[in-house]
Chains A and B, each alone.
Chain A
Amino acid sequence: MGWTRKILRVNLTTGTIKTEPLNMDWAMKYLGQRGLASKYLIEEIDPKVDPLSADNKLIFATGPLTGTAASTGGRYSVITKGPLTNAIACSNSGGYWGAELKFAGWDMVIVEGKASKPVYMTIFDDVCEIHDAEPIWGTSVWKTDAWLKKQHQDPMIHVTGIGVAGENKVLYSAIVNDLHRAAGRSGVGAVMGSKNLKAIAVRGTKGVKVKDGGRFLKATATAKQVLQQNAVTGAGLPTYGTQVLMNVINEAGAMPTRNHRQVQFEGAHDISAEAMATPRKSDGKPNLLTNQACFGCTIACGRISKIDENHFTIKNKPEYWHASGGLEYEAAWALGSNTGVNDLDALTYVNFICNEQGLDPISFGATVSAAMELYDLGLITKEQTGGIELKFGSAEALVKCVELTGKAEGFGRELGLGSLRLCTKYGRPDLSMSVKGQEFPAYDGRSIQGIGLAYATSNRGACHLRGYTIASEILGIPEKTDPLETAGKPGLVKAFQDATAAVDSAGICVFTTFAWTLNDIAPQVDAACEGSWTPESMLELGERIWNMERVFNNRAGLSSKDDNLPPRLLTEAAQTGPAKGKVNGLAQMLPEYYQLRGWTADGVPTNETLSRLSV
């Protein structure tokens, strides 16, 4: 119950397709999705494997609440070893694909090996087939989606796959489903591309059953009310999307700007949620048309936007004269504030292209901003950019970059390496705003101390979604802590990291945790699944997952030296705002964090810790 108890294992080298029962002992210990699939990955691959080799595996995994009436119960994750980070990668996506996989009768799909030529897979209930992808190889996510629906004569098919970025193994390429929802981070799309796997089309007509239907409906109804009555999930997110944060974070002086040179962006208002909803001067229409929910989501933070048809980006491209997925906060920041660009429609266009070609807009934007700094310093010349005036604030340069990166053409080939490899190539690795090779998201670790520690210790490289301490440090959820203080942050980070690992394993969205705690989530899991699931057991589950991921990373060759922040955050103080004069106090926090985790001073989980958590 909750689980379908079936796994699909596809070996692309041999073309074999096998069905396996889900390992229920593991399910009881790791629940589903992130935790359970990570367990499978770690048991099955050599941690030192080259992420882009045939020996890496790529797992698409749902959680037990995926495909149920639990609010936001439509999530799936892609788990693999990431090429951007050489660490475990786990990217979470919404849309409808995950629920559809569940309805087809599968908890997860494990993809092994590498096809000799481009292929795509179909999973129609019990029937999985591998097909020649020749007609769609080299085409966009959007064209692939339409082609598959036509080819298989079923518009109810849901598709996940890669665009040209993944085919070209851009190191931060995404896996995109339902046109604009993405397993975006850590380069999972490049792994899919390396396997010559273009897409997985899914259609399911089976049901998902839960253990105790009556109790489940009650628990989910109660939890939905909690979301509805909460200011963030009940009003802020549906109305403004995650962009509700733009002005808040800018005012907190935590808005990384121009590759973290500044912490506040003078153009923030131009690219904010309010700007999206305000009619444009040019055509009198707003950028934002409506909000859209992912499967099962009663929050509905997704943005659906349309660019002014006369905007320079699409003026002669009618193929973009329609609505599609609009700017989330992270994308608006990475593409906008971090590059100094305040042209909302240009950012929307770049975001469209990121979806269409399958790029992570966070890493893409951050890589462009690093390149802009190198350009500003004269370390990259106009010859090297192929004639692009790569200046901070240039929408034209940004647009040119996105058009080249997915296709791996010209300077785009270098941008596709990510900021760390790019900056290293030009002699300034310190200018890459990344941890473990993965670019920062939209919060500055100098102005919000806890998030700095969360970035440094995240198992998948810099990430806000591994421990979103912003909730506490800025929004006061569940209780307010001082963002400028380091004291207490190790405990806060650990608590967020563990709870998030549990949420990510259940099949629901981490955004629910603006309103929900494990006290709201555990009863839903418990009513759906065999076993006994309490807030305490789920927190322990999260801690178990965190330690398991850490052990994998250590075996992959990462160590405490990789739990670090770029020198800019540690030595160059914020110049404006509430954090003026502040740097991140990682050194004060990290030892305590290791201690709280039950790790050695070198960041290695002790045997005692591992056995306490039965990892």
Chain B
Amino acid sequence: MDYVVLGAGPAGVTAAETLRSANKAARITMIGAELEAPYSRMAIPYLLHGNIEEHGTYLRQTPGHYSNLGIRYLNGHARNIDTATRTLTMQGGDTIGYDRLLIATGASPIIPRFPGANLPGVHTCWTLADAREILKLAEKGAPVVLVGAGFIGSIVLEALYARGCDLTVVEIAPRMVARMMDETAGGMLTRWCVSKGVKVLTGTKVESITQTWNGEAPLYVGLSNGKTAPAKLVVLAAGVRSNTSFLAGSNIAVNHGIKVDRFLATTAPGVYAAGDCCEAVDLSTGKPDMLAIQPVAVEHGRIAALNMAGVVTPHRGSLNMNVLDTMGLISSSFGLWQGADGGSTGKVTDEQNYKYLKLEFEGDRMVGAQCVGMTDHVGMLRGLIQTGFRLGGWRDKLIKSPERLREAYISVAQGVTHGAPASGASGPHVNTPVAA
């Protein structure tokens, strides 16, 4: 059996390892597109921060990890796939045959269309190569313009702030992290950033970047508010899109990402997809969506690999969730943080102290949550949402006093006190094998 895993991010690495534990004898090839050891993009901000060296970003820390598992690790970009002959052709012309193929090619940052987006000193913050360039420019006191204050932008923000850059954030949406949290939370984050000396321009577009002769700030960033921000470095964090262009013309169907069924199989026999490149089911909506977060990539990688190895394992959906540390202010969001139609909400807000907790319910189940300034036992929110435990009388208590969610969790999920039975009728929505 020849397994080929295209991609060496979290989904690819997890898949290769899972394939190995499911099948000791198979040939496993993992192909990475970057000339690096498999690493985590999520760790790049901490590299910029100076917390870790490059090897600290590696997905696996043991030297020889892949060869010890008998996983062949190659480098290259795919040109196309012939699903009829089960052959992958690389850009250099090499061909690789497979019995089962996993596409885990991830996503790439979107380069905005404004003039100057390709000038020297303008970088995305996505790869280790990007990080090396940013590290050269992001010096203490250097004027830096960050384009985009979504989730990724905000994580990069933290790192640039820690490096002591003179930071201006430009976000087209009316608030920060608009796809992760509501106005109240986004407003708190903005106020917090401003209080730390970061200039935050929401509802503002970058119109152009031009090069000047100013050595300290050789870039001028022209803004939709009519002003200009000088910069030594411009970091682009304007969203990502799936890496699927090499599939054009194949019989592998692609929407925003590669379409997969509930076993993470694509429309081509023997070909699966996992991670940022695919559109699998969002647990909260039951609909396909691209949830570009590492835990989802890992979950996909594991489930796709099990199915490739013949261990039939349906994917019941992944939960969207994010956690952000913005210069010490920690926020997170889960599932349907926007709330459900016809649902109910419990929230408590403390603007002065940057604390916010909002819980969303549908019937007596929790379906979403967002919080600012809360870290203790925060995973219980995932527990309640993902398992869909029926809260019974606790729902009304949580609407009145959301801060009691830990009590509610222990009481309901652990079946400790009077409330719904320990195992809700639906049971935990856990992605576990159902048949060998």
| Contacts from A to B (Cβ < 8 Å) | 146, 149-156
Contact = CB atoms under 8 A, between A and B. Distances in A.
Contacts of B357: 153
22 contacts: A146-B401, A149-B401, A149-B403, A150-B348, A150-B403, A151-B350, A152-B353, A152-B355, A153-B348, A153-B350, A153-B355, A153-B356, A153-B357, A153-B373, A153-B374, A153-B402, A153-B403, A154-B403, A155-B404, A155-B406, A155-B407, A156-B376
Residue from B353, B401, B403 whose CB has the most chain A CB atoms within 10 Å: B403
Interface in B77-97: none
A153 B346 CA distance: 12
A152 B350 contact: yes
Nearest to B357: A153
A141 B373 CA distance: 27
Contacts of B402: 153
Contacts of B374: 153
Nearest to B350: A153
A155 B380 CA distance: 15
A155 B402 CA distance: 10
A155 B403 CA distance: 6
Interface of B: 348, 350, 353, 355-357, 373-374, 376, 401-404, 406-407
A462 to B, nearest CB: 41
Contacts of B373: 153
Nearest to A147: B401
Nearest to A122: B353
Nearest to A205: B376
A146 B373 CA distance: 19
Q: Which 9 residue pairs of A and B lie closest in terms of their CB atoms, listed nearest first?
A: A153-B355, A153-B403, A150-B401, A155-B403, A150-B403, A153-B348, A153-B357, A150-B348, A155-B404
A153 B350 CA distance: 8
Contacts of B403: 149-150, 153-155
Nearest to B349: A153
Given A149-B401, A149-B403, 6 more contacts: A146-B401, A151-B348, A152-B353, A153-B348, A153-B357, A155-B407
Contacts, number: 26
A151 B353 CA distance: 11
A366 B191 CA distance: 57
A270 B24 CA distance: 73
B349 to A, nearest CB: 9
Give the secondary structure class of B's interface. Answer: mixed
A105 B401 CA distance: 28
Contacts of A155: 403-404, 406-407
Contacts of A146: 401
A294 B376 CA distance: 23
Contacts of A150: 348, 401, 403
Contacts of B401: 146, 149-150
A154 B353 CA distance: 12
Nearest to B355: A153
A154 B401 CA distance: 11
Nearest to A127: B353
Contacts of A156: 376
A146 B356 CA distance: 17
Nearest to B353: A152
B222 to A, nearest CB: 42
A285 to B, nearest CB: 14
A150 B403 CA distance: 6
A14 B407 CA distance: 39
Contacts of A149: 401, 403
Contacts of B348: 150-151, 153
A272 B353 CA distance: 49
B330 to A, nearest CB: 13
A154 B350 CA distance: 11
A154 B357 CA distance: 10
A155 B350 CA distance: 15
Nearest to A146: B401
Contacts of B406: 155
Most buried by A among B348, B357, B373: B348
Contacts of B356: 153
Nearest to B406: A155
A152 B349 CA distance: 9
B239 to A, nearest CB: 32
A101 B350 CA distance: 23
A24 B374 CA distance: 37
A98 B8 CA distance: 53
Contacts of A152: 350, 353, 355
A154 B404 CA distance: 8
A150 B397 CA distance: 12
Contacts of A153: 348, 350, 355-357, 373-374, 402-403
A154 B403 CA distance: 6
A156 B357 CA distance: 15
A149 B407 CA distance: 13
A464 B351 CA distance: 48
B384 to A, nearest CB: 16
B20 to A, nearest CB: 43
Nearest to A149: B403
Contacts of B350: 151-153
A153 B373 CA distance: 9
A46 B374 CA distance: 46
A76 B200 CA distance: 47
Nearest to A152: B350
A264 to B, nearest CB: 41
Nearest to A154: B403
Contacts of B404: 155
A150 B406 CA distance: 13
B418 to A, nearest CB: 11
Nearest to A155: B403
A156 B375 CA distance: 13
A149 B355 CA distance: 12
Nearest to B374: A153
B184 to A, nearest CB: 13
A146 B404 CA distance: 10
A156 B356 CA distance: 16
